[in-house]
Structure 1
């Protein structure tokens, strides 16, 4: 289940709080209005019974004119004894001489009043009883209140959480090279203050990133000259074995410097993009690696076109395939064209990587086993450079252990959409 945003939770909390108060108040009000105090209700019933008795006893034709049923016996329906006793006590307390019965009618909340006349007969008087609970009007009222509260809550949350939304938008706008864009310092004071703070932070971070890139690039370039001098001096070492060790270490230093400079170049920008066919580019990479003796083979390869920088993408794919071929004892490469993306799969039969280290494979200079540096060439920057290149081409790369052993590297790239 996706995590709800802070704005959504704040809006829901505000709406729930206001509606809870409104619903509680509405039900309390409706209950109070619909149910008068028992004493007043009982007194009204007693007064009604006494006035009806006086009218019907004094005017024999009143029952016919008012269409009041007259029965020789009291009603045979269920008698509400508790209510009858209360109303009778109210009548006696007022000095009324009426004898009455109150029967439950078939209507909701209704009661029928029966009074005994002086000739012993019973007059049946309908009585609306207490008012029914106003459920439909209350529902309509609460619906209107809910819509109004929802509108106010959405507006309030949008205004109050605008600084947080500004942070979210700024984070999403950070480019692949780590540069934070400048934000317009407009709007309410809270928003302006937030924008100013983000802009100051962005300026410092951008300056730090640029300084780091210049420092590493300068160091990489400056290392070339002393490395060349050291290589020339190593050639004059008399011991052949010692000379070979010196040249090997110098070669590794040179690879580290060269890889660091390449990584920085990829971080600085994606390069020029053009529409290319990925399948022949992939075949070229595999053929080149086979020619230098690496165990690489092609699997199923679909026809795929995409927009990318061909030289940078070729370097990334070469790094990934070389990693599988050297560390996994061989690589099989396949390319699948899907609806909106191209999926490149590189599998090997190697020992795999411990699960707790999988999240670190793209870190610069990372090695699963530091001792392997002595056995296999490289600076440990190949995967870092590959991920940086693919990220600049609006793609992604992931590595996972295969159930049957070995690793699977998966590259996903956005395909070029052709007009219909």
Structure 2
């Protein structure tokens, strides 16, 4: 069985087809006698035709009226009704057929009704079979009212036979197919989708199942290794560049601080601050995928309140509303940087920024960053999540600069670092709202974490709390 699991898909399909043929043949050979037996419509038709022929012969041989009545009295025991009629009661066009000598053949033809008529009788118990007229001699004739066979003689055995020979083997084949072919493909597709959606390349693709799937997994693992090597080389290169750039920046800052004109000194220091911020922003975005920090329990309310206080001390109107205390398990440094990026981005275009927090129970933790700026169009809401895109042309009020990595960096920290989701929507009458839905992470008390999936389908409903 292990060799079959590792065989090619073509081989597996061929083996399963042969297995289906063998299975159907074995089931048919072992169940047909028990399904039909003597409850076969063909057997009943043969017996009924013989009884009709026997009754006609006995009626033809009768010499008296009493003998005729004795012959006709056998009909109920044979399972049909018969009536003695005159020859003149049979239409002239049908008399030649009624005089036919092969009575058994005519009886079988009359009893073997079409399949449509059989189905009609299955749902309409009042349907009947066309009567059979038989000429006994030149003066006498018999009119047989033939029965309609019960479903137990033809319908139920056919259903049982079809179920045993077709349905059950196909179910078995479908189960084996899913076990051999479909399940490895589905598992591989799920792993590929997870890696594509969350950029998770730490774990290699499992090479199992058919040979084609194992070959594809091996190819993707080679590609994965190359991508990881490129990412690590890029990170090392950027770290080196960052180190080399900070040294001349430090020297420049020291020299600028000794400049005499205060106005010129202030402008040069502002430029150096922007340049340093750009370097930090780029490094945070490019090294975010490989940045691994252990999660720990923190007071999320205090963390957000601290962010609001820090920005307020620099002259930015940032307010926090939410519960006084809310214990949550997260990566505090990453969470702080993500929220700070959002607040800093909003402060460039707005005069007031609100940070709101709510514990939605099983739905997760809802954090909302709101501003009263000019807002964004629906098209720009999508584009600002792309790296290096700047929406300054749309949000013209305020000043500020950067590489356009603030929102993408924050979204990556929320999604990759915490398994959450971040969405943008309009604020009435104007402004922008950034909804962050974090999964409900609970401390089990034994050092393990349990995570409920966050709902990212719509805006989180947050109400202000003291």
Find out whether 1:258 has 2:280 as its counterpart.
Answer: yes
Aligned residue-pair number: 378
Mark the runs of 5 or more structure 2 residues left unpaired by the alignment: 1-12, 25-39, 76-81, 104-110, 112-124, 446-466
Give the distance between the partners of 2:140 and 2:265, measured in 1 at CA: 135
Match of 1:141 among 161, 164, 183: 161
Find out whether 1:110 has 2:129 as its counterpart.
Answer: yes
**1:61 aligns to what SS in structure 2?**
helix
**2:298 aligns to what SS in structure 1?**
strand
1:56 corresponds to: 62
| TM-score computed with the length of structure 1 as normaliser | 0.72
Aligned-residue CA RMSD (Å): 4.6
Give the distance between the partners of 2:235 and 2:198, measured in 1 at CA: 14
Counterpart contact for 1:270–1:309, Cα < 8 Å: no
1:160 corresponds to: 181
1:313 corresponds to: 335
Deviations 1:133-153 (A, max 9, x none): 933333333344223313312
What displacement does 1:222 show? 1.5
2:413 corresponds to: 389
Mapping of residues 12-411 of structure 1, within 5 Å: 51-57=57-63, 61=67, 63-64=69-70, 67-68=73-74, 84-85=94-95, 87-88=97-98, 90-91=100-101, 108-113=127-132, 123=142, 125-128=144-147, 134-144=154-164, 145-161=166-182, 162-163=184-185, 165-172=187-194, 178-232=200-254, 234=256, 244-301=266-323, 303-340=325-362, 341-369=364-392, 375-391=399-415, 392-411=417-436
1:124/1:60 Cα in 2 relative to 1: closer, same or farther (>3 Å)? farther
Deviations 1:260-304 (A, max 9, x none): 223344322341211122122222221222222211223343743
**1:329 aligns to what SS in structure 2?**
coil
1:141/1:403 Cα in 2 relative to 1: closer, same or farther (>3 Å)? farther
Counterpart contact for 2:249–2:272, Cα < 8 Å: yes
Mark the runs of 5 or more structure 1 residues left unpaired by the alignment: 1-10, 23-32, 95-101
Give the distance between the partners of 1:380 and 1:305, measured in 2 at CA: 32
Give the distance between the partners of 1:403 and 1:52, measured in 2 at CA: 101
What displacement does 1:181 show? 1.7
More displaced 10-residue stretch of structure 1: 328-337 or 119-128: 119-128
